[in-house]
Chains A and B, each alone.
Chain A
Amino acid sequence: MTKYILKRILLMIPTLIGVAVLIFFLMRVVPGDIVELRFAGESGSASRETIAIERARLGLDKPLWRQFLEYMGGLARADLGVSMWTGAPIIEEIKLRFALSLELAILSTLIAVVLAIPLGVIAALKQDTWVDYVVRLFSIAGLATPSFWLGILFILMLLVVFKWLPPMVYTPLWVNPWQNILQLIWPALAVGYRYSAVAMRMTRSAMLEVLREDYIRTARAKGLWQKLILTRHALKNAMLPVLTVVALEFAFLMGGLVVTEQVFNLNGLGLLFVEAVAHRDYTLTQALVLLVATVFIVVNFFVDLAYAWIDPRIRFR
């Protein structure tokens, strides 16, 4: 098991380096740079000298390979540097937004799991009855509804029915929990519905497969309690693929909620990413992509560990 874990950790490194290299060059291929964009906003064109000085200050005048080596060197020292646009340390820029995105992701996951697992199990047990059809329609509708549109509908409903709008400024959980929940519950519901649909479908099909296994028949033949068969034998085995989709969705939520954040006016990682790309803020974009990729890879790693832990066959492959 230790060997398996070590191997998995070592395999994470080349992927992360690949992501770092990819985003470094991807950003340089995107036309326009931060200096041009900054001066483009001002009336009259800035003199060439000013532009050259600004470029030199940001280190953009150096040859590409120098920039690349310095960037990789910084990463090796775990130094993300400062944002090119604001000049603030990147850690500071990201901190509060990371907290918001993480909280929203956790809240949505909770909503999704609480909805998905019972409904998915019921649909599988009652396959091809009206219960199954209703649950499936509910989940397919969840997949089809854009979360941002659902968000708009929520806001509309709150406005029209309750004449109330969720608070617009983010209050961290540790400052005022009630205010915080009031703000985040709506986006979490809008996102959680789609998310639960993904997990529900996986629960249903995994349960359908597991319920056909021989060991379930054996358990039934032994006269075991139906409830015990479901929880101990079936659900435990069906949870593996569900765990995978939940984890992948969670990783996705950490940076992919751009549109929902826009609708609810939340300053999360997604919007920060859009701003960073729009400003051609190389350092911030690179740091964000690496952060999101790290979350994705680490979550995947834990899923694989959980797999290996639950299913010994995987460990020895």
Chain B
Amino acid sequence: MATLETFVDVTEPTTTRSWRTAVIDFCKQRPLGAIGAAVVVLNLVVAVTANVISPYDPLATDYGAMLTAPSRAHWLGTDAFGRDVLTRILYGSRTAMLVGFSCAMVGATLGAVIGVTSAYFGGKVDLVVQRVMDCFLSFPLIILALAVVAMLGNGLQNVIAAITIPMIPRAALVARSSALAIREMPYVDAARAAGFKHGRIILRHMLPNVMAPYLIMLTAFLGQAILLESSLSFLGLGVSEPTPAWGLMLRGAAVQFAESAPWMAVFPGLAISLAVFAFNLFGDSLRDALDPRLRTQ
């Protein structure tokens, strides 16, 4: 066993170097994916530096400048409370990124662990886990999220929980189907013969080998989480006022005054679309890169 660990240590530098070349290759071969990744990074930067780059305070109301059209003072106009739309969009990316990343990471990881465990044990455990997942899957995602919000109440953490929980069975399903093939691999048998505990085999030997579907799922979930959060906030079941969030900005006055002040309804929606678009673009290229069956011959 000790020799195994040292062997891993010795190969580590080469793997990091191949990672760097892999990234460069990815950018060269998949320009669309690289653009997507760049927009994602830009979004993250905006989220982190929102307090520095925003021209106004996102919560400051200005009743002298209600519903003003885009101008030099307010690039994207103001809303019904005279708040600067651009500032609120910039701050809104904080909410979106926070919800997106936490939901996707927790949802995909928990789902992968459950799916791989289910596949590893097989038999009765697998059957029971699959039936339970089926029950959750037959609830539409948004309805399950609604029930969770109704139970826990509004607020950022609860919205994150509400979006994460329905993602788990979906991730489990995908992870399980790839893990079923891995279970039969000789190295899993070898690990079992070496007397490793179940937990170790699942976490150290099987999980790393479902990395490709896991990463694909993760990027897909990022976009979905942002969309779902905006839907919930739009319904008044997500993040609550006055927190700046894109879905929330489309709610109420934005629809009411859509004809006279269309900037309120147009720009936050564009922000949602652009963010999700970037994640999907990146995720798509990642999938093509990781799935050899889809490469051009």
A149 lies within 8 A of chain B by Cβ: yes
* Shortest Cβ gap from A288 to chain B (Å): 8
- Residue B138 lies at the interface, judged by CB distance under 8 Å to chain A: yes
Does B273 have its Cβ within 8 Å of any Cβ on chain A?
yes
Chain B 274-297, CB within 8 Å of chain A: the 1/0 string?
Answer: 111101110010000000011011
Does any Cβ of A come within 8 Å of B70's Cβ? Answer: no
Known: A152-B250, A152-B269, A156-B265. A255 touches B277 (CB 8 A): no
Choose one: B32, B132, B235, B272; the contact of A258 (CB below 8 Å): B235
Instruction: Give, as a whole number of angstroms, the nearest-CB distance from B97 to chain A.
Output: 15
CB-defined contacts of B259 to chain A, threshold 8 Å: 156, 159-160
> A273, B146: Cβ atoms under 8 Å?
yes
Q: Which residues of B contact A259 (CB under 8 A)?
A: 142, 231, 234-235
Query: Could you tell me if B131 and A273 are in contact, using CB atoms closer than 8 angstroms?
Result: no
- Give the docked Cα–Cα distance between A295 and B273 (Å): 30
Q: Flag whether A67 is at the interface (Cβ < 8 A).
A: no
Of residues 265 through 298 on chain A, the ones whose CB sits less than 8 Å from some CB of chain B are 270, 273-274, 277-278, 289, 292-293, 296-297
A208 within 8 A of B: yes
In Å, the complex CA distance between A140 and B132 comes to: 32
Task: Tell me which of A26-34, A38-46, A73-81 binds B.
Answer: A26-34
B143 and A159 within 8 A (CB): no
A152 to B253, CA, bound (A): 12
Q: How many residues of A contact B (CB 8 A)?
A: 51
State in angstroms the CA–CA spacing of A251 and B137 once bound together: 11
Interchain CB contact under 8 A, A152 and B255: yes
| Set of chain A residues within 8 Å of B134, measured between Cβ atoms | 15, 18
Which residues between 238 and 277 of chain B lie within 8 Å of chain A, taking CB atoms?
Answer: 247, 250, 254-255, 258-259, 262, 265-266, 269, 272-277
Chain B residue nearest in CB terms to A248? B137
Chain A, interface SS category: helix
Given contacts A152-B250, A277-B147, contact A19 B135 (CB under 8 A): yes
Interface residues as binary, B186-212 with A (CB distance below 8 Å gives 1, 0 otherwise): 000000000000000000000000000
Contacting residues, chain B, for A149 (C-beta < 8 A): 250, 265, 269, 272-273
Q: A18-B134, A148-B231, A205-B294 are in contact. Are A133 and B32 (CB under 8 A)?
A: yes
Q: Is the CB of B284 within 8 A of A136?
A: yes
State whether B142 touches A256 (Cβ < 8 A): yes
Q: Is the CB of B138 within 8 A of A263?
A: no
Please, which residues of chain B bring their CB within 8 A of the CB of A145?
Answer: 269, 273, 276
B141 within 8 A of A: yes
Q: Which residues of A contact B277 (CB under 8 A)?
A: 140-141, 143-144
In the complex, what's the smallest C-beta–C-beta distance from A208 to chain B, in angstroms? Answer: 6
State the CA gap A127–B288 with chains docked (Å).
12
21 contacts between A and B (CB under 8 A): A15-B138, A26-B151, A140-B284, A141-B273, A144-B274, A144-B280, A145-B276, A146-B231, A146-B272, A152-B254, A160-B259, A254-B140, A255-B140, A256-B142, A256-B143, A258-B143, A259-B231, A270-B142, A273-B143, A277-B146, A296-B137
